[in-house]
Structure 1
Amino acid sequence: MIIYEYPFNERIRTLLRLEDLFDKADYFVQQAGAQEHHVALLTLFEILEVAGRADLKMDLIQELERQRQTLLGFRNNPAISEEALSGALYELEQASASLLAMAGKIGQSLRDNDWLMGIKSRASIPGGVCEFDVPSYHFWQHQSSEVRKAALAGWLKPFTPLDHGLSIVLRLLRNSGGVEHLVAPGGAFQRTMTGIASQMVRVILPSQSPFVPEISANKYALNIRFMRPDSEHRPRPCDSSVEVPFDIVFCAL
């Protein structure tokens, strides 16, 4: 299955972007090559930019607390496993505590590192971190894989509470909705959003499906237009006779 997620507000959009960046950073840090570690460092710089939103940490803390209060309402419910409930509450409490313990602006320790900020500045220029531009970075890239991995892990560590917190919130969001099985005649689907309190929509297609959903939405309506990429991957409209089967999930916390 291929899942396409479309956020309905800036907060969820930011969380999805950070999730994607953390996944990429984690993947490239685990590799052994200097080029992969270069990509990991560039991804770290992107995380630093996206995570710089002033209210991000407090938004996560408030959402985690709201979910904790909701779960507390299920105490002594015979239909709910006490063990599972206690585990979920503990996870929420630990995530909140870790976020609260983050002092100052997110990623400030990296911003205070002149060497890293020099590389970040040069990296914004095409080819700007060649060996003749930043010889100290060229030297770092020639250290052992273990040395580079340890450095990258250390630079990413201050973001761990943020990564953990947003993972919990997005997991709860994704599990909040029910699946609807639908068909888009002519590759077009529209639904009015009146009465639907949703923060994100998920459109699910089989992996072998040749269609790609282009999604747009506002507070009044959701529109999905299914396109079919040609041999050069350019999206093309479907024929009016085509029917596109898909699943959809409206998610809200």
Structure 2
Amino acid sequence: MISYEYPLNERIRTLLRLEDLYSKLAHFSRGDAPQDHHVTLLTLFEILEVAGRADLKVDLVQELERQRQILISFRNNPEISEEALSGALYEIEQASSSLLAMAGKIGQYLRENEWLMAIRSRASIPGGVCQFDLPSYHYWLQRDADQRRHDLSNWVHPMLPIRDGLSIVLRLLRASGRPETQLARGGTYQLMMAGRSAQMLRLRLSPADAVVPEISANKYALNVRFMLSETVIRPRLAERDVNFELTFCSL
């Protein structure tokens, strides 16, 4: 099954973008080639840009505290595993503490690194980081992979509390809903929200259907059109019934 997620507010949209960037960061940082570590650095710059919202850290801390209070209310509930509950509380408390320990503006230490900011500035120009543009960066890329990885770790590590905090919030968000089987007749599906509150939608469907959902939603209605995947250049509606799972997620 393929999952598609659609955020219904700007905060969740930002968290999903950051989750995707942190995933790419982890993937490319494990590589050994200079190109892997070049992409790692560019991805870190993207994280710096997206995470630059002044209230992101505050939002995460507040949401984690709200979830902590909810979990505390489950204590002494015979249907809840005390061991699992204690583990979840510990994870939330650790993530909150790490976020609160982040001093100043997110990524300020990166902005104060003139060498990194020079690379970031040149990287916005197509082909702008060639060896004749940034010879010192070219030298760094030719260093031993372990040495580059050590530098990357030093630059990335202070940003990891953001990753840990948003991972908990998104995991709880995804677990909050109950999937329901739906049918899109003729490739289209519409649902009136009728006061239903949600922060994110999740759609799951079989790859064998060879369709891609186009989702639009507001507080009044949800609309999904399933487009044939083989016509990505010139999208065309799949004029047949499509079964899929729909989940409304909300913290």
1:132 aligns with 132
Report the counterpart of residue 249 of structure 2 in structure 1: 251
Deviation for aligned residue 1:208: 2.3
SS at 1:230 equivalent: helix
Partner in structure 2 of residue 216 of structure 1: 216
Poorly superposed stretches of 4+, deviation over 2 Å: 229-235
Q: Secondary structure at the match of 2:29?
A: helix
2:75 is aligned to: 75
Report matched runs for 1:96-115 at 5 Å: 96-115=96-115
**Could you tell me how far apart the structure 2 residues matched to 1:236 and 1:159 are?**
42
Q: CA deviation at 1:197?
A: 1.1
1:231 Cα offset (Å): 5.5
Equivalent residue, structure 1, for 2:52: 52
Structure 2 Cα separation of the partners of residues 164 and 17 of structure 1: 14
Name the CA shift for 1:18/1:232 in 2 (closer, same or farther; >3 Å). closer
Q: What residue identity is the alignment partner of 1:230?
A: E
Q: How many angstroms does 1:232 deviate by?
A: 5.9
What is the CA distance between 1:69 and its match in structure 2? 0.4
C-alpha distance in 2 between matches for 1:176 and 1:252: 6
State whether residues 178 and 247 of structure 2, in contact with CA within 8 Å, keep that contact through their aligned partners in structure 1: yes
1:8 aligns with: 8
- Residues 195 and 220, structure 2, Cα contact 8 Å, conserved in 1: no
RMSD over aligned Cα atoms? 1.0
Counterpart in 2 of 1:89?
Answer: 89
* Residue equivalent to 1:193: 193
Residue 144 of structure 1 corresponds to which residue in structure 2?
A: 144
2:70 & 2:234 partners in 1: Cα distance?
46
Q: How does 1:115-194 map to 2 (within 5 A)?
A: 115-194=115-194
Q: Is the 8 A contact 1:188 1:224 kept in 2?
A: yes
Conservation of the 8 A alpha-carbon contact between 1:230 and 1:236: no
Q: Which runs of 5+ in 1 are unaligned?
A: none
Shift of 1:234: 3.6
Distance in 1 of aligned mates of 2:193 and 2:51: 30
CA contact (8 A) 2:210 2:230 kept: no
1:249 partner letter: T
Q: SS of the residue aligned with 1:216?
A: strand
CA distance in 1, matches of 2:116, 2:5: 33
Counterpart CA distance in 2 for 1:161 and 1:234 is 42
The share of aligned pairs that are identical, in percent, is 64
Cα deviation digits, residues 170-203 of structure 1 (max 9, x gap): 0000000001011100110111112211000001
Q: TM-score, normalised by structure 2?
A: 0.98
Q: Which 10-residue stretch deviates more, 201-210 or 38-47? A: 201-210
Shift of residue 233 of structure 1? 4.7
Q: Specify the SS of the correspondent of 1:197.
A: coil
Give the conservation status (yes or no) of the 8 Å contact 1:8–1:200. Answer: yes
Equivalents in 2 of 1:232, 1:81: separation in Å? Answer: 47
Residue in 2 that maps onto 1:203: 203
Q: Assess if the C-alpha contact under 8 Å between 1:193 and 1:220 holds in 2.
A: yes
Please give the TM-score of this superposition, normalised by the length of structure 1.
Answer: 0.97
| Superposition deviation, residue 230 in structure 1 | 3.0
2:80 aligns to what SS in structure 1? coil
SS of 2:195's equivalent?
coil
